[in-house]
């Protein structure tokens, strides 16, 4: 295709469909003189004239007619490609690999998992729940859910929610086991994890 600019092909299609440079310039919001230069450049890049310009509008020659049909097919194919991506975004599907820390898995993900799977039945989830560090690219992870700030500059992070943590004990337990004075004393106590 050489040095042909695909945007010039798109402008050519607009000019033909509009029937004149003036109408096409209004449609694409660029000055008529610049639009004319772009079509002239396209013709120069192709090595042939595609149309005759007149006060009554544009008239395609034989080469221009053939080029227009192919260019129109190309524009339709491009629109189909765009629509297919937008369709995938509207209704996601395929394999989604998650790496989730234990705390987030138990306290956050499990609360929303059933609803997600109901809403997006075409998504196949592969979930790894542990607290190990992951290299998302090397490990093939699509999304990692963690507490705290992200490590490294090669990830895009977004805060999902605030999670409040607390330590609670029944008075009867404290009377029996003693009241810890610092977090270091917790290793001798019986702990239950509860996530809301």
Q: Is residue 54 part of a domain?
A: yes
Instruction: For residues 173 and 139, give the distance between their C-alpha atoms in angstroms, rounded to a whole number.
Output: 44
Instruction: Flag whether pLDDT at 66 surpasses 90.
Output: yes
Look at residues 31, 27, 24, 21 and name the one whose alpha carbon lies nearest to residue 54.
21
| Tally of structural domains, the chain | 2
Mean pLDDT of the chain: 85
Please indicate, yes or no, whether residues 132 and 156 belong to a single structural domain of this protein.
yes
- Given a contact cutoff of 8 angstroms between Cβ atoms, the answer to whether 5 and 40 are in contact is no
Same domain, 121 and 49: no
| pLDDT of 196 | 43
Does the pTM of the predicted model rise above 0.85? no
Q: What are phi and psi of 166, to 5 degrees?
A: -150, 165
Burial class (CB in 10 A: 0-12, 13-18, 19+), 16: buried
Instruction: Give the angle 65-83-1 at the CA atoms, nearest 5°.
Output: 40
Residues 6+ away with beta carbon under 8 Å from 190: 173, 177
Give the tens place of pLDDT for each residue, 146-180: 887 777 666 778 888 777 777 788 899 889 888 88
Residues 39 and 64 occupy one common structural domain: yes
Q: Which domain holds residue 141?
A: 94-162
Same domain, 100 and 85: no
- At 70, the pLDDT band (50, 70, 90 cuts) reads very high
What is residue 61's predicted lDDT score, i.e. its pLDDT? Answer: 94
Residues 87-113: what's their mean pLDDT?
83
Domain with residue 109: its CATH number is 3.40.190.10
Task: Please check whether residue 101 is in contact with residue 143, taking contact to mean a CB–CB distance below 8 angstroms.
Answer: no
Would you say residue 79 lies in a domain? yes
- 10 has a pLDDT exceeding 90: yes
Q: Which of 89, 109, 125 is the last residue of a domain?
A: 89
180 domain-assigned: no
169 — phi, psi (to 5°)? -150, 145
Q: Which carries the bigger pLDDT value, residue 128 or residue 87?
A: 128
Q: Of 89, 107, 139, which residue constitutes the final position of a domain?
A: 89
Termini Cα distance of the chain: 60
User: Does 182 reside within a domain?
Assistant: no
In CATH, what number is assigned to the domain containing residue 57?
Answer: 1.10.10.10
- Looking at the structure, tell me whether residues 38 and 79 fall in a common domain: yes
Answer yes or no: do 74 and 132 share one domain: no
Q: Check whether residue 28 and residue 65 sit in a common domain.
A: yes
């Amino acid at each position: 295709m050489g040095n042909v600019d695909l945007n010039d092909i798109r402008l050519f299609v607009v000019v033909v469909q509009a029937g004149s440079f003036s109408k096409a310039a209004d449609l694409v919001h660029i000055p008529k003189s610049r639009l004319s230069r772009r079509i002239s450049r396209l013709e120069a890049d192709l090595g042939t004239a595609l149309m005759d310009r007149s006060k009554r509008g544009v008239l395609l020659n034989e080469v221009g007619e053939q080029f227009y049909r192919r260019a129109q097919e190309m524009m339709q194919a491009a629109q189909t490609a765009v629509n297919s991506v937008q369709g995938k975004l509207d209704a996601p599907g395929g394999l989604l690999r998650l790496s989730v820390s234990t705390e987030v898995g138990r306290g956050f993900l499990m609360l929303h998992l059933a609803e997600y799977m109901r809403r997006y039945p075409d998504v196949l989830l592969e979930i790894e729940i542990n607290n190990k560090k992951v290299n998302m690219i090397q490990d093939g992870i699509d999304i990692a859910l963690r507490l705290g700030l992200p490590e490294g500059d090669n990830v895009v992070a977004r805060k999902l929610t605030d999670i409040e943590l607390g330590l609670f004990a029944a008075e009867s337990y404290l009377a029996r086991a003693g009241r810890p004075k610092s977090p270091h004393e917790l290793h001798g106590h019986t702990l239950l994890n509860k996530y809301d």
